[in-house]
Amino acid sequence: MPSGEIRNIDVRCRATVGEVGNAEQSNINYGKAGRMRWKGKRPSVRGVVMNPVDHPHGGGEGKTSGGRHPVSPWGKPEVRTRKKKSSDQLIVRRRPANKSR
């Protein structure tokens, strides 16, 4: 792979060689919140700035931190809860750490 990683790939896999049609799409600056709202994206509000009735991290006087481990608004643990990626078992050798750029 371009990163230097060596991977096993299933013989039934297919790929398309070429380049992405609109590579600059990720560089668009939407400029204001309203343009994102037109696209249906709602603002993301941190739990710390909410009231205690709205989120477990909410409340407190002034700019207090959450006071507990990161949880969802419903109290379930949120960070470091992911399992290992299933395709990790296909990696033969990881990319070299000191690869010169």
Q: What is the pLDDT of residues 6-43, one digit of tens each?
A: 888 888 988 887 788 888 999 999 999 999 999 999 99
- Is residue 74 within 8 A of residue 55, CB to CB? The reply is no
pLDDT digits 0-9 by tens, 43-79: 999 999 999 999 999 898 888 776 788 899 999 988 8
> What are 54's two structure tokens?
């709205």
- To the question of pTM greater than 0.75 for the whole model, the response is no
Angle at 82 between CA 81 and CA 87, to 5 degrees: 165
Tokens 């096993």 appear where?
Answer: 8
Domain at 1-10+30-93, CATH homologous superfamily:
Ribosomal protein L2, domain 3 (4.10.950.10)
Domain ranges (residues) in the chain: 1-10+30-93
